């Protein structure tokens, strides 16, 4: 399979006033073109740190990563929508383009199309406070898609939502990603969500994290996340990954 | 609208009217009581003055045109110091935000200056800035500037980390983060600091006028004390109360306009 991204022996140590905290011990990974790859691990294990490094917000202590594409555009979606309350949702969606100085009429049209496609057109001139949590998260996704990313980094994008919207929005987001055919790395601590959405799952150890196991997810009648939860293999994957995570409650 | 809603609205209106009416009564009662005590020599009107004497003094000041001169002087100084204080506070807060190490270095000094009773610096200011309006402005700035810097800077620091991360992921530089996020997000803090700032400025201006001036309401009060003309002192205080109330209301109005 075609690799879009290769991660080689990345480590990350944080230095506080008193000590050095090892967040990532050693991560080596290949990310295939067009797949949804989910990193699963207990909270605080350093999975978000990896995304920050890939997004260029943070730097690795050692190791490197390499895109098999020149000047890849990276779309990063955070735990909450981080919409700016003083802007309309259309202006919010243009934010990335404005910062990258790609705010052309053509790209504006593309954003408008995205709004139309994902049924948010009539809300374009509304402020974020007038939208539901799930809608806001979809706007956040449109804002990320607006810059036409080669890879999407999703950092627990549904964790701020209640359970009902979480299911619905993960379904939406999944459909959008697949329709646009964007390679995605997602971070999640929700095993069920990971199985229902991913092509592959990387199980990370506790901090300092390393790759414990990688699963290729094969589900009978693979469709959308909500349907996928009904697949017969779902439970086995769940139990296996739960065991791998070695969660002590 | 239902009958019940109508009656509730009516009740609320009546309550509002009642509150204003009582407030009005308090003011009238205060002045009538004061006048009564003075007229019947229960209090010494040479020391305490009286409303009728204040009215006489006020009339005199209006006829000679002095009153406007004093009010305009104080108003001019206040507006000038307020504008400088807010703009300089804003710029300095941006510099501190951009250079966190600088902010850490000067933090204890800011706190020290802020906790110092600024009036103690009065005599030095007169020597350094001269016995003129400059001294008054410096005095007012000493009081309002630090508060402005601290308020605006705290507003900057309260900005959501997640949003900064988002902008960084788009590759935003510091200037863009400031322009697209920090300044608009702290707009509310900046606006609400206007109200604190105007009160602080007025304190500074009056203090400055006490120390060095030939005009202004502060001068009116301090001059009245020096010549033991308590009528003049009371008139000054009364004018100051009205002036500060009006200025405060104007700033509140601007604040409301800006924050919607």
pLDDT (tens digit per residue) in B69-89 = 999 999 999 999 999 999 999
Mark whether A208 and A235 lie in a shared domain. Answer: yes
CB atoms within 10 A of CB A77: 28
Verify whether the Cβ–Cβ distance B162 to A80 is below 8 Å: yes
pLDDT reported for residue A17: 86
Residues near A177 by beta carbon (within 8 Å), at least 6 away in sequence:
A36, A152, A184
Q: Which residues pair with A203 in a beta bridge?
A: A40, A213
Mark whether A135 and A100 lie in a shared domain. Answer: yes
Mark whether A135 and A14 lie in a shared domain. Answer: no
pLDDT reported for residue A161: 80
CA B101 – CA B151 distance, rounded (Å): 19
Q: Closest Cα to residue A176, out of A200, A202, A140, A201?
A: A140
- Residues B178-188, mean pLDDT to the nearest whole number: 89
- Residues A182-210, mean pLDDT to the nearest whole number: 90
Q: Percentage of chain A with pLDDT > 90?
A: 43
Query: Which of the four pLDDT bands, split at 50, 70 and 90, describes residue A249?
Result: low
Say which CATH number the domain at A183 has.
3.40.50.300
Does any CB of chain A come closer than 8 Å to the CB of residue B187?
yes
Mark whether A143 and A156 lie in a shared domain. Answer: no
pLDDT reported for residue A227: 85
Verify whether the Cβ–Cβ distance A82 to B171 is below 8 Å: no
* Nearest neighbour of B170 by CB, restricted to A80, A86, A96: A96
* Cβ atoms of B118 and B142 closer than 8 Å: yes
Least confident piece of the model among A60-64, A108-112, B114-118, B189-193:
B189-193
Residue ranges per domain, chain B? 1-43, 49-259
Does any CB of chain A come closer than 8 Å to the CB of residue B169?
yes
CATH class of B49-259: mainly alpha
| Domain assignment of residue A79, yes or no | no
CA A45 – CA A40 distance, rounded (Å): 9
| Domain assignment of residue A100, yes or no | yes
Mark whether A154 and A137 lie in a shared domain. Answer: no
- What integer best gives the mean pLDDT of chain B? 92
Mark whether A96 and A204 lie in a shared domain. Answer: no
Give me the residue label for tokens 């309006």: B133
CA A74 – CA B168 distance, rounded (Å): 11
CB atoms within 10 A of CB A243: 11
- Residue A209 vs residue B105, higher pLDDT: B105
CA A185 – CA A191 distance, rounded (Å): 15
Helix ranges restricted to H, chain B: 3-39, 45-48, 51-64, 66-98, 100-115, 122-129, 133-157, 161-169, 174-177, 183-185, 187-211, 217-226, 230-259
Q: Which residues pair with A33 in a beta bridge?
A: none
Mark whether A168 and A232 lie in a shared domain. Answer: yes
CA B167 – CA A5 distance, rounded (Å): 23
CA B48 – CA B226 distance, rounded (Å): 15
Mark whether A241 and A159 lie in a shared domain. Answer: yes
pLDDT reported for residue A248: 61
Least confident piece of the model among A240-244, B211-215, B256-260:
B256-260
Full residue range of the structural domain in which residue A41 is found? 3-72+150-245
Mark whether A128 and A154 lie in a shared domain. Answer: no
* Cβ atoms of A189 and A42 closer than 8 Å: yes
Kindly tell me if the per-residue pLDDT of B1 is higher than 80: no
* Nearest neighbour of A76 by CB, restricted to B163, B169, B180: B169
- Please say which residue of A111, A129, A148 terminates a domain: A148
CA B61 – CA B69 distance, rounded (Å): 10
Mark whether A61 and A163 lie in a shared domain. Answer: yes
Mark whether A155 and A239 lie in a shared domain. Answer: yes
Mark whether A181 and A241 lie in a shared domain. Answer: yes
| Domain assignment of residue A77, yes or no | no
Q: What are phi and psi of B12, to 5 degrees?
A: -65, -40
The pLDDT tens digits for B22-66 are 999 999 999 999 999 999 999 998 899 999 999 999 999 999 999
Kindly tell me if the per-residue pLDDT of A58 is higher than 80: yes
Q: Give me the number of domains chain A comprises.
A: 2
């Amino acid at each position: 399979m075609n690799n879009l991204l290769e991660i080689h022996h990345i480590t990350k140590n944080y230095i506080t006033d008193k000590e050095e905290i090892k967040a990532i011990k050693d991560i080596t990974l290949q990310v295939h073109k067009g797949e949804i790859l989910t990193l699963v691990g207990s909270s605080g294990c350093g999975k978000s740190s990896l995304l920050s490094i890939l997004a260029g917000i943070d730097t690795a202590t050692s190791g490197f990563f390499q895109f098999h594409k020149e000047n890849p555009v990276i779309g990063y979606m955070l735990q909450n929508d981080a919409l700016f309350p003083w802007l309309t949702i259309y202006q919010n969606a243009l934010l990335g383009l404005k910062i990258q100085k790609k705010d052309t009429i053509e790209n504006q049209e593309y954003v408008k199309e995205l709004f139309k496609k994902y049924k948010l057109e009539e809300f374009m001139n509304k402020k974020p406070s007038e939208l539901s949590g799930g809608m806001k998260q979809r706007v956040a996704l449109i804002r990320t898609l607006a810059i036409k990313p080669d890879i999407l980094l999703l950092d627990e994008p549904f964790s701020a939502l209640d359970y009902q919207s979480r299911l619905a929005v993960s379904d939406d987001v999944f459909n959008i990603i697949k329709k646009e055919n964007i390679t995605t790395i997602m971070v999640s601590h929700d095993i069920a969500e990971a199985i229902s959405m991913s092509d592959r799952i990387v199980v990370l150890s506790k901090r300092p994290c390393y790759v414990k196991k990688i699963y290729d997810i094969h589900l009978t009648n693979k469709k959308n996340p909500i349907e996928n939860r009904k697949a017969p293999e779902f439970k086995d994957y769940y139990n296996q990954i739960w065991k791998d995570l070695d969660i002590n409650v | 609208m239902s009958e019940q809603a109508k009656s509730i609205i009516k009740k609320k209106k009546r309550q509002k009217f009642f509150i204003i009416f009582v407030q009005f009564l308090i003011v009238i009662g205060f002045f009538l009581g004061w006048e009564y005590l003075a007229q019947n020599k229960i209090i010494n009107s040479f020391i305490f003055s009286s409303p009728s004497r204040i009215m006489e003094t006020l009339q005199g000041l209006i006829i000679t045109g002095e009153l406007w001169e004093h009010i305009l002087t104080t108003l001019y100084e206040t507006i000038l110091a307020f504008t400088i204080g807010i703009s300089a506070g804003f710029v300095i807060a941006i510099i501190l935000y951009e250079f966190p190490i600088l902010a850490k270095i000067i933090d204890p000094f800011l706190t020290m200056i802020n906790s110092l009773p600024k009036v103690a610096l009065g005599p030095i200011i007169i020597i350094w800035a001269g016995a003129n309006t400059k001294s008054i402005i410096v005095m007012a700035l000493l009081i309002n500037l630090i508060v402005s810097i601290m308020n605006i800077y705290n507003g900057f620091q309260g900005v959501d980390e997640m949003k900064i991360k988002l902008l960084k992921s788009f590759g935003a530089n510091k200037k863009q983060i400031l322009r697209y996020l920090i300044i608009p997000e702290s707009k509310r803090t900046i606006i609400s600091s206007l109200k604190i700032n105007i009160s602080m400025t007025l304190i500074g201006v009056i203090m400055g006028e006490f120390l060095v001036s030939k005009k202004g309401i502060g001068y009116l009060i301090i001059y009245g004390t020096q010549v033991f003309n308590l009528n003049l002192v009371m008139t000054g205080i009364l004018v100051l109360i009205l002036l500060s109330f009006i200025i405060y209301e104007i700033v509140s109005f601007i604040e409301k306009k800006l924050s919607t």
